[in-house]
Amino acid sequence: MGHGNKNDLKAPKMLEFNKKIVSVDCGSSHTGVVTNDGELYMFGRGREGQLGRADAIESSVTYRVTPQKVHTFKDKKVIAVACGGDHTLALVQ
């Protein structure tokens, strides 16, 4: 997940990302990362809205294969992210 395609990887691969990641959490089919400047990025399946894209619910076959910035917390700093089966929680300051 996050490498630009949906192919399974046989070995770990470093995620190419231009920001320093300070926190990562994985759900059943999605991942959230928090950057050192308090931004939240999500990728993976978003069928139930767990990618934080507001009312832009993804279809069951659509995946975000690269990290997408969550704009919901415009004036807030994200401290942590917790991903579950079909949901995501963000702790903001």
Averaged over successive runs of 10 residues, the pLDDT of the chain (93 residues) comes to: 63 80 89 94 75 59 77 90 89 94
Is the separation of the CB atoms in 4 and 63 below 8 Å? Answer: no
Q: Per residue, what are the HEC states of 3-71?
A: CCCCCCCCCCCCCCCCCCEEEEEECCCEEEEEECCCCEEEEEECCCCCCCCCCCCCCCCCEEEEEEECC
Other beta carbons less than 10 A from residue 20's beta carbon: 8
Quote the distance between the C-alpha of residue 19 and its chain's center: 14
CA angle 9, 33, 79 (to 5 degrees): 160
State the pTM of this model: 0.80
Domain segments of the chain: what residues?
21-92
Give me the pLDDT at residue 34, please: 96
Q: CA–CA separation, 47 vs 63, rounded Å? A: 8
Give me the pLDDT at residue 57, please: 56
